Amino acid sequence: MQVPAGEFLKRINYPSDLKEFKEDELEQVCNELRQYIIDVVSVNGGHFAASLGTVELTVALQYVLNTPYDQLVWDVGHQAYGHKILTGRRENFHTNRIYKGISGFPKRSESVFDTFGVGHSSTSISAALGMAVASQYKGETDRQHVAVIGDGAMTAGLAFEALNHAGIENSNILVILNDNNMSIDPNVGALKEYLTDITTSKPYNRFRDDIATVLTKISSMGPDAFKIAKKIEKSIKGTLLKRSNFFEALKFRYFGPVDGHDVKHLVKLLQDLRNIPGPKLLHCVTVKGKGYALAEKDQTKWHAPGLFDKITGEIKKTKYDKPQPPKYQDVFGHTIIELAEANPKIMGITPAMPSGCSLNLMMKAMPNRAFDVGIAEQHAVTFSAGLATQGLVPFCNIYSSFMQRAYDQVIHDVALQKLNVVFCLDRAGFAGADGGTHHGAYDIAYMRCIPNMTVSAPMNEEELRNLMYTAQLDDMGPFVIRYPRGNGVMVDWQRPLKAIPIGKGRMICEGEEVAIISFGAIGNEAVKATTMLNAEGYYPAHYDLRFVKPLDEALLHEVFKKFNHIVTVEDGCIEGGMGTAILEFMADNNYKAQVTRLGIPDVVVEHGEQPELWAECGYDAAGIAGQVKKYAIKRDNTHTIAS
C-alpha cells in the first residue's frame, strides 16, 4: 500500500535533493520522514522504534556527507529505514520485508548507498575501518567513513576488537554511538552504566558543549598546537568524569554526549568533525521510538509490533474463535521454568533476546537463575560452559543464525570438554521477513559434524518439552534442540514430561513404495502431504527422525530394506544437512536407493513468510507430494494404476 509523503519529503529522492533545503528546513524534513515511517510501518509491518530514534541523525548525515562516495555503515540495520527512504527507495518502501520486496536491512545488492550488509549487529566499525584503510591506501584522502552503531550493538566483542584496532590506525573514521540504552530489550552490562555516567555528569556536559568547535579551530594552527590542546582536553575530561574516558584510552577523540534529536546541532557537529583528522567517536543520546509516544513508553513492545492503528496505538492481531497453538518460543519459556522448579541446577542464558526467545519469563520468575548477557554470543556460550563445569545445567538460548558467531566456543569450550550445555536454537529454518541474514539454514550441518554433540529437533510442542526434559538429565553432554519461529501445531501441549531415548526416531505412518523422512517441525508439512496423497490414492510412509546425531540406525536399516525411493525433508540447508546424513548412512551400509533431498538450496533465499519460502524451495506440502508422486504407484479400491 502506497502512502503519500509530506511536501518536503516527496521532493527528496536522493541525498542530493536533501542538500537543496536550508538548514532551518531540516526539522520539517525530519518531522515528515518520521511520520512517513509511522504511516508505512503501521499498515505494512516491520521494525519500528529503532528507525524513529535515528531520524535526525539520518537527515544530518545525508545532509553533510557526500554519499555514496562517503561511506556510511548502519549497525544494527533495522535503524536504517530513514536511510532507505532518503536514498532512492521511498516509492518502494511499502514493499519492505514483503516477499519479493526490498530488504528490511541495508543490502549492497539493493543500493550503492548500502555500503555493507548489516542484518546482524556489531560489524560496522570493523567494516568502516577496512573501508577507511582502503581509501587511505588508494590516496582518497577526502573520503569520509562513518559507522553508526547502536541499539545494543556496542555490547558485542567484535565492536571492541574493531575499536582497539581503529585507535592505532591514522585513518579517517568517525564512529557515531547511537546511545538509546536499548537493543530489543533494555541494554545490560558495565558499558551501559559507564555511558549513563557520562550522560548524567553535569560538569562534564557543560564542558563538552564547545569542544568540537575549539578543536576544529586549533587543528588549523598546526599539529603541535593540536597535540597540546588534546592533552589539555583529555586531562579536563578525566577530572570531570573522575575516571579515564574509555574511548580516549583506545586513542579515539571522544565528542559528546550530544542530543541526537537536534538536527541543526548535529549538522554543525558533523561539519566540524569532517575537519578533524584520525579516529573520532561522537556519542549521541537518542530515544528509541522518538515521536510516537507509545513506542517511547514501551520500546521493547514497539521494536517490531506488526500492524497497528497509528491513531489509537492498537496492535492488530488476528482473532480466533478457537484456542490456537502457542509459539515455540513460549513453550520453551514456560517449560524451562517448569523444569527449573524441579531441578535447581538449571540456569537460563540468552544474548540480548530475552523477549524474543521468552527467557524473560524465567528472568521474572527466577531472576538469580536467568541471564541476559547482551549481544555477545561467544560470551554466552563460554559463560554457559563455565556454569556447566560446576555441575549446573545451562540452557543457552540463541537464535540459529546468531549461533554462527559462537561456533569456536561451541567446539572448543563445550564439545571438546563434553559439558552439559543445552543449546536451544530458536528461529531454526526459515525466519520469515528478516530474510537471508536471519534464516537458520546452517545449524544442522555445522552442529552434526562436532564430536560429543547430540542434535535434535522436535516435530511439535510436546516433543520440544520432552527434548528439554531429556537434555537436563544426568550425563547428557552437549545437546542441541532446534525449533522454528512461529506457532506450533498443538493446542493441548502441556502434557506430562517424559524422556526420549537418545537417537531414536519414530514412524508417523506406514506406507508403500516411498518413504518420507523428516526432521523437526517441517515434518508437519509432510503430514499434510501424506493426507493429500492418501486422498489421491498414494500411500507413502512417513518417519520422524528426531535426532540427526546420533542417527537411529535401526530405523534407517528398516527403511532402506523396505523402500527403494526415499524423500528427505528438512528446514535447513541441503548441503551437509539431514538428507546428507541419510546418504552417508546409505553409502556406509552399501544400500542402494533413489534418495531425493528437500530443503534449503545452495543459494541465499530472500525474505518472505515461511510458507512462501517453503513453497519457493519445494518443500511445502505440495512440493513434498509432488516428489512422492514421481515414484509412488497410484491405487484405487480394486487395482493398481501406474502413476
Which segments within 180-279 are labelled E, that is strand? 253-259
**152 marked among binding-site residues:** yes
121 is in an annotated binding site: yes
Within 185-261, strands assigned E span: 253-259
Task: Check whether 38 has a pLDDT greater than 80.
Answer: yes
Tell me the per-residue pLDDT of 147-202, one tens digit each, with 9 for 90 and over.
Answer: 999 878 888 889 999 999 999 888 889 999 999 876 555 555 556 566 655 554 44
Among 42-46, 80-84, 368-372, 638-642, the range scoring the smallest mean pLDDT is 638-642
- Identify the pLDDT of residue 185: 54
Tell me: is residue 78 an annotated ligand-binding position: yes
Rounded to the nearest integer, the mean pLDDT of the chain is 90
Given a contact cutoff of 8 angstroms between Cβ atoms, the answer to whether 421 and 396 are in contact is yes
For residue 484, what pLDDT band results from cuts at 50, 70 and 90?
A: very high
Over residues 119-130, the mean pLDDT reads 93
Cα dihedral: 377, 383, 388, 392 (round 10): -100
Angstrom distance (rounded) from CA 133 to CA 125: 12
Residue 241: the pLDDT is: 53
Q: What global pTM score does this model have?
A: 0.88
User: pLDDT, tens digit, for every residue of 505-549?
Assistant: 999 999 999 999 999 999 999 999 999 999 999 999 999 999 999
pLDDT higher than threshold 70 for residue 358: yes
**pLDDT tier, 77 (very low <50, low <70, confident <90, very high otherwise):** confident
Tell me the three cell numbers of residue 71. Answer: 561511506
Instruction: Report residue 170 as a C-alpha cell.
Output: 591514522
Residue 76: per-residue pLDDT: 87
Residue 53 assigned as binding residue: no
Interval 218-232 mean pLDDT: 56
Q: What is the pLDDT of residue 82?
A: 95
Q: Is 377 marked as binding a ligand?
A: yes
The CA–CA distances, whole Å, from 58 to 38, 79, 85, 259, 606 equal 16, 9, 10, 14, 26
Residue 205: pLDDT band with limits 50, 70, 90:
very low
For residue 146, the cross-strand partners are 72, 174
Instruction: Determine the Cα–Cα distance for residues 413 and 448; give it in Å rounded to an integer.
Output: 17
Task: Choose between 625 and 275: higher pLDDT.
Answer: 625
User: Which of 89, 107, 253, 288 is an active site residue?
Assistant: 288
| Residue 119 known to bind ligand | yes
405 against 237, higher pLDDT: 405
Q: For the residues 35-50, what does the mean pLDDT come to?
A: 92
pLDDT computed for residue 640 by the predictor? 44
pLDDT tier for residue 642 given thresholds of 50, 70 and 90: very low
Is 465 part of the annotated catalytic residue set? no
Residue 185, CA distances (Å) to 37, 181, 353, 371, 406 in order:
21, 9, 7, 13, 21
Residue 240 has pLDDT above 80, yes or no: no
Tell whether 180 is in a known binding site.
Answer: yes
- Interstrand relation of 541-544 and 506-509 (parallel, antiparallel or unpaired): antiparallel
- Cβ distance 439 to 401 under 8 Å? yes
If residue 389 lies in a helix (H) or strand (E), which one and from where to where? helix 377-389
- So what's the pLDDT on residue 233? 55
Task: Give yes or no: 405 in active site.
Answer: yes
Query: Is residue 397 over pLDDT 70?
Result: yes
pLDDT band, residue 304 (cuts 50/70/90): confident
Helices (H), 443-597: 443-448, 461-471, 523-536, 553-562, 578-588
Residue 643 pLDDT > 70: no
629 is written with which cell numbers?
508422486
How many CB atoms are located within 10 Å of the residue 532 CB? 15
Model confidence at 321, in pLDDT bands (50, 70, 90)?
confident
Q: Give me the catalytic one of 208, 369, 405, 448.
A: 405
Confidence band, pLDDT 50/70/90 cuts, at residue 317: confident
Name the band, by pLDDT with cuts 50, 70 and 90, for residue 204: very low
The predicted model gives 458-481 an average pLDDT of 98
Q: For the segment 570-616, what is each residue's pLDDT rounded down to a tens digit? A: 999 999 999 999 999 999 999 999 999 999 999 999 999 999 999 99
Pairing of strands 454-456, 547-549: antiparallel
Q: Whole-angstrom Cα distance, residue 151 to residue 354?
A: 15
pLDDT at 639: 40
Which one of the listed residues 32, 233, 377, 462 is annotated catalytic?
377
**What is the arithmetic mean of pLDDT over 332-342?**
98
Measured between alpha carbons, how far is 589 from 578 in angstroms, rounded to an integer? 17
Give the residue from 529, 421, 434 showing the smallest Cα distance to 486: 434
Average pLDDT over residues 246-266: 91
- Rounded to 10 degrees, the C-alpha dihedral 72/75/77/81 comes to -60
In the chain, what is the straight-line distance between the N-terminal and C-terminal CA atoms, in Å? Answer: 45
Catalytic residue check, 525: no
